[in-house]
Amino acid sequence: MSLIVDIKKKLDDFNLEIKFSTDSKVLGLLGASGCGKSMTLKCIAGIEEPDEGKIILDDRVLFDSDKKINLPPQQRKIGYLFQNYALFPNMTVKENIEAGVRGSKAEKEKIVNEKIEMFFLKGLENKKPHQLSGGQQQRVALARILASEPEVVLLDEPFSALDSNLKWNLEQELMEMLSTYSGKVLLVSHNRNEVYRFSETIAVLAAGKVETYSAREELFDNPVTVAAAQLTGCKNISRAEKLTNHTLYAMDWDITLYSNKKVPDGITHVGMRAHYIKCFDNTDFTNTLNCKVSQVIENPFSYIVMLDNLYNRNKKVSSRIRWEVDKEEWENIGTQKDTIRVVLDPDKLLLLS
């Protein structure tokens, strides 16, 4: 099953120019809020109309501006799970599920009962949405979508409005429900962990464009672009320029670094994840760095230590390096010291362009 999206749409702040094609069962779209993720889903579902381009699902053309094709959402067979579930408030659970089912009365009855069973909604058939808990509402919304037998299910930030406990439970539940679904799933989120847990393939969106498109492990190991590095949680990013095939100069940190990977010609930035930084008290390692401890912030299970390269010639707050370290380790290192020596592992440097 393949989905091809190649659309352009003028928005207030930027131009949406989304282009990807995917064969994977679950595709995650990761992006900061306001980057055009939801708009992309709405265009795929037919709720919004792109200015130009095409959307093709298998061999069905859903939208093609050249051929003047724009199927209404009713004919696209694409399910959309809204953040607030968008259940019909005036209808019972059963009527909600039945709303999207086609066929004779007996067939409808059969499908609805099947979904009620499958989504553990027995006994709630005649309740109205406002009488249900958040989890039950999500199950009804999903049952309603799957009862209409869509070829693709779109999940639009399904958990972002929930507190963390409930969120975890609903996420587990949703994953289990979707495991029985044979169609394709597109998940939109700004939460990297959520996207990682759900998706095989992840597209990173920034300012209306697809920045990277890769397998999830690949994305987190080697994010390639600055936006992708930030969205995957990299806290330390410095401008950089290439010196040789394996060395580069990090401008903001004012150091020359050695990389085990080949430095690409177009490198603009270098990144280092905060928890990959190590502290060693000898100079045998490459990429060691003498730092002044400028700030220590306590988290429940770790410390965030803000470091200044001692020999950095540009003293700006933005050139500080953020180091995340276990409580125990930090206490062993000795919190008394003003200066410490850290290593930026040459295997772990993110080379960004």
Partner 1 sequence: MELSPLFISLKVAFTATLITIFSGIAAARFVLKIKKFKGIFDGLFTLPMVLPPTVVGFFLLVLLGKNSPIGKFLMNLNISVVFTWVGAVIASAVVSFPLMYRTVRGALEQFDVNIIYAARTLGMAESKIFRKIVIPNIVPGLIAGTILTFARALGEFGATMMLAGNIPGKTQTMSVAVYSAVQSGDYETAYKWVAVVCIMSFTAMILMNFWNGRQLKKTTKRSDI
Interacting residues toward partner 1 by CB under 8 A: 42, 45-47, 72-80, 82, 84, 86-91, 99-100, 102, 130, 132-134, 137, 144-145, 148, 150
Q: How far is the CB of 37 from partner 1 (least distance, A)?
A: 16
Residue found by looking up tokens 């060395």 in the block = 247
Contact 189, 28 (CB under 8 A): yes
Output 85 or 220, the one with its CB closest to partner 1.
85
Output 150 or 208, the one with its CB closest to partner 1.
150
Q: How far is the CB of 102 from partner 1 (least distance, A)?
A: 7
Contact 222, 210 (CB under 8 A): no
**Structure tokens given for 148:** 């209409």
Q: How far is the CB of 115 from partner 1 (least distance, A)?
A: 13
Output 40 or 312, the one with its CB closest to partner 1.
40
Residue closest to 187 by CA, chosen among 11, 8, 24, 49? 24
What residues contact 48, with CB distance under 8 A and at least 6 apart? 9, 39, 42
Output 100 or 183, the one with its CB closest to partner 1.
100
Q: How far is the CB of 136 from partner 1 (least distance, A)?
A: 10
Spatial strand order of the sheet with 184-189 comes to 69-70, 60-64, 52-57, 3-10, 15-22, 209-215, 201-206, 26-31, 184-189, 152-156, 78-81
Q: How far is the CB of 88 from partner 1 (least distance, A)?
A: 5
Cα Rg, the chain, nearest whole Å: 25
Output 128 or 197, the one with its CB closest to partner 1.
128
DSSP-assigned letter for residue 312: -
Residue found by looking up tokens 């659970």 in the block = 93
d(CA 322, CA 91): 52
* φ, ψ dihedrals at 144, nearest 5°: -65, -45
Output 153 or 272, the one with its CB closest to partner 1.
153
Q: How far is the CB of 111 from partner 1 (least distance, A)?
A: 13
